[in-house]
Amino acid sequence: MKNKLALTILLAAGLIISTMTAWGAKDEMGFVRVNPGEEDWKNPFGVGVQVATLHGDPSKPGIYVLRIKWPPGIMSRPHKHPEDRHVVVLSGTWYTGTGEAFEPEKSIGMKAGGYMMHPAGAIHWDGTRDDGAVIQITGYGPSGNVFAKPDEPQFSKTN
């Protein structure tokens, strides 16, 4: 019985530690490290766009850092956020457009290393074409998405 309890405690501790690492746990000095492959990817939109929160909580006041993994051929529809957002393309080509007219063919491609700042309240749309992309977003919450046409789908296929 003691062996089963010890094993259960070790398994639970292992799960907690691995989850903390995936969520960017602070070490004893307050440093946060997340290596590629340690992200805790979620699929909150149900369309294959995956989000990993590396630091903070976008729904609460304070700095947050997100990674978003875009599959090939999908774009968000025109929307805005209440805060400035700083975006860096980590891999692939990420396409962006501005304004309420959703025109994927007029989007501007940004390669790995590219940077874009989304001003608070500015309507934009973004995503991928033939290849996927991974971007990293830094902002100061609380955050949110307000779609220009809330009765329409939030995402569209581009290929």
Tokens of 149: 């046409």
pLDDT digits (tens, 9 = 90+) for 31-67: 989 999 999 999 999 999 999 999 999 999 999 999 9
Tokens of 53: 């929160």
pTM to 2 decimals? 0.82
At 2 the pLDDT is 45
Q: How confident is the model at residue 24 (pLDDT cuts 50, 70, 90)?
A: low
- Pick the more confident residue, 49 or 19: 49
CA distance 76 to 79: 8
Beta-sheet pairing, 124-127 with 85-98? antiparallel
CA 25 to chain CA mean position, Å? 18
Using DSSP, state whether 1 is helix, strand or coil.
Answer: coil
At 130 the pLDDT is 92
**All residues at 6 or more sequence positions from 66 whose CB lies less than 8 Å from its CB, including other chains:** 51, 52, 53, 54, 58, 136, 137, 138
